[in-house]
Structure formats: structure tokens, C-alpha cells
Structure 1
């Protein structure tokens, strides 16, 4: 089973797999790729590339207007995440929450700073991303995003022109250690030698937009394959969509 999400909605596809009690893997291609594993019509796994779990799935749009899907039948096993109706309801609810919070905080990778060290925002003193705050607080990402949104809304937090992916070091097969300062965005792969972090590339002369656009395309195409590419692609795509 395969087709276009422009002619058959994702919800209809999910309902069909569920009601027919199918086992297999659903692949969805939109701005980010989604995979869902079904066992007899119930979801037992899934995610965005190597970012797995319901938290990852909940960031994918439940009602995409474009893209394609493909379902491949096959034996699957694992624990059912939650009853199917609950799964759909929670996905829809979290989609709405993500959309609301992203009006002020474009992505969980955005770095924020606390204007004063008061709780619960003390973790942002000196600058920290929402993803970093979620780890520091020990809470789900959506809870950290809600707190960050509230902090910005109430004036306790400010957005910095930084992202937590600035600290990532990525190795590309074409990477070289000794190169002059940035010249052309097409040369970006040559600067990814695994020793420079992405923030260094920006300081060398590449713009944030150039680095982001390259990473999105390289991850989507499979040119870059590294741990963390799933959450990174999700955040980069959200940032690119922000006004």
C-alpha cells in the first residue's frame, strides 16, 4: 500500500492499518521522514530517523498537506505504546502544543538566557537550549518547551542568536583539516572534518542559514549519517519554517 498524502490523509492511512489489524512498517515522507511500526494494528515503535519514541513521533504533523506514504507488511514485535485511539488523541494534542509554543520559541535547539536567576529559569543563566533544559530538569521535551514558552511570554527569558547544534562536530568523507576561511556554501562538506564544531564554521564566515540549509539537505539525502540526525533534522526544519 502506498500513495500521496494529498489524496489520502495520514489519519486515514493510520485508521486503515489499525482497523485491518495489519503488522508492518509505515514510511511517511514529508519535510522530515517518519517511521511507524505496527503489530496487529497497534503502534509498537517508530520515530524520525534515529530519534525514536512517541516524543519524536508527536513532533511530526498529524495532518500534513503533502508527502507520500508506503506500508510494508511484515512481522513486528514489541510492547504496544498505548491504545490506538489514545495514541491518535495524544498525537493531536501534542501537535497543537508544539504549534503554540513554537510561535515564541522556534525550536527546542534555540538557546535562551534568563534575565535573572529565579526558578524555574535558573538553568538558562549563561544560555541554554530547551533540549539542554529538559535534560537538566529531567522532564519530557514538551514540558521544557512549555516552560521556555512561558518564560519568554512573561519576559523572564530572552532568545539568543544561538542554537545547541552549534556545538556539534560532524565528520564528512570530504572533510579536510587545513582550509582557509569560508568561501562558498558548496564547500561546506570539506569543512566537516570532525574537529570543528558547527559554530566554528559560522564564525569562519558561513551564515547560519547556509549551514542549516546544507544540513537539512544532506541529512534528508543520506549524505550525512551520524547519531542525533533525527532530532537535528526536526529542529532544523522547524527553524527554517519560522517567520
Structure 2
């Protein structure tokens, strides 16, 4: 097993791991986000960070033949950079005349994915094309807005935003009281400090994409 803390955005890192059996990659994960989509969202050749090999019994079948997986990983990594420059991240909610995105309040690629019969990146590409064609508008919200942190969960107890965590407000309400950018930065800092919750893997990945391409108010 290879564990990676890849430097991806300024001082931020993306934690992921992959398991190998007889030279083939059999699994990949960003914390609790598991599978091929998770692995392909990670940088295939991080230039900085921390790397740890752990030898332990592993099972499973290859996700793809190794040479094919490496080529696909490089291609998809480049595609994610291009797509997120347009849509922000798979967590950003958009309203568009596309299946799954037609609600007035908008939906994220993450929310629309289960009914789409597409891969994560294919659906994100479909949305990006609608955005570029002037057929989609952002709602100003994100999939992670619905998260409600337990009052005892925050590690950064001295952080100004931590004082607003009361177990009742969700992160969308926190963003309304402060700003989307400040709430994003706070949540990312909490994750880096050790905060964990169901879905923290895809949230961490999306926060980093957003940090890279969106402004304080986006």
C-alpha cells in the first residue's frame, strides 16, 4: 500500500492511498471516498509531499491493466483541471436545462451523479459544456453546505469561525454569516487538523479544487 500526502494547492495537501498486488493497482481512495473515480481525481505525479509504503496482505483485482490505468490517470487528471476551471468543483450547485440540474435551487454534480448513469468526470464535462454555452448558472451554494459539524468536533477551537459552531447551524448558514471563502478555508483547515465525518474524502478533494479556482465570495 502506498500512502500519499500530495502537495496540490499552495500549502495544502491531498491525502490518498492506493493498494498494489503483483504490480497492479487494485484499489484507490481519498480517505473514505473509494474507487476509481477517487483515484483518478488525485495527481498522478505529485512533485512534493509525503510518501509511505506499507507492506501488508492485499487482495482484489486490478482496477484496469497497469499501463492503461496510468495513461487514463494522466488524461483524467488534466481533464479535471480544465473542467474545474469552468465549474469550480463537483460540489458546486448549478441550475441548467440538463437532467438532474433543472431544480430552481440547482444541484451539484455529486448530487446528480447517482441518477446519471455516467462517470463523475463525464457528468462534470457535460455540465462544463453547458456552462461554456451560457446554459447554466451557479446557485451560490455547494454540496458541503448541508454539513452540520458537531459542537465537540472542531479541533481549531481558537479559530474565529469555530466559535460559531453550535451543532445547529449547517455550513451554508455559517457561510451566510461570514463568507463562502472563509467557511471553505475553515473546513479545509479542520480536515487538515484531523476532523473526519462520512464523506470527508470527496469534500476534501472538492475543497482543494475550489480553493484553486474560486474567489472569496464564490
TM score, norm. by length of structure 2 = 0.86
Unpaired runs of at least 5, structure 2:
7-12
**Structure 1 pair 75–122 and aligned structure 2 pair: CA distance change class (3 A):** closer
Matched, 1:196 2:172: no
In 2: Cα distance, 1:53 partner to 1:209 partner: 29
In 1: Cα distance, 2:124 partner to 2:26 partner: 26
**Structure 1 pair 238–56 and aligned structure 2 pair: CA distance change class (3 A):** same
TM score, norm. by length of structure 1 = 0.78
Q: Does the Cα contact within 8 Å between 1:171 and 1:194 map onto a contact in 2?
A: yes
Aligned positions of 1:180-219 closer than 5 A: 186-203=159-176, 205-219=177-191
Shift of 1:190: 4.2
Q: What is the aligned length?
A: 205
**Structure 1 pair 122–60 and aligned structure 2 pair: CA distance change class (3 A):** closer
Aligned positions of 1:112-151 closer than 5 A: 112-114=94-96, 118=97, 120-121=98-99, 123-126=101-104, 127-151=106-130
Q: Does the Cα contact within 8 Å between 1:174 and 1:189 map onto a contact in 2?
A: no
Name whichever of 47-56 and 122-131 sits farther off: 122-131
In 2: Cα distance, 1:55 partner to 1:174 partner: 28
Shift of 1:135: 2.4
Q: Secondary structure at the match of 2:149?
A: strand
Deviation per residue, 1:32-59 (Å, 9 max, x gap): 1010111121111121011011100101
**Structure 1 pair 79–207 and aligned structure 2 pair: CA distance change class (3 A):** same
The equivalent of 2:4 in structure 1 is: 28
Unpaired runs of at least 5, structure 1:
1-24, 176-183
In 2: Cα distance, 1:62 partner to 1:226 partner: 26
The equivalent of 2:59 in structure 1 is: 77
**Structure 1 pair 185–153 and aligned structure 2 pair: CA distance change class (3 A):** farther
Name whichever of 77-86 and 185-194 sits farther off: 185-194
- Greater Rg, structure 1 or structure 2? 1
Taking CA–CA contacts closer than 8 Å with sequence separation of 6 or more, which of the two structures ends up with the larger relative contact order?
2
In 2: Cα distance, 1:228 partner to 1:88 partner: 26
Matched, 1:232 2:203: yes
Matched, 1:103 2:82: no
In 2: Cα distance, 1:162 partner to 1:102 partner: 16
**Aligned-residue CA RMSD (Å):** 2.0
The equivalent of 1:49 in structure 2 is: 31
In 2: Cα distance, 1:195 partner to 1:140 partner: 34
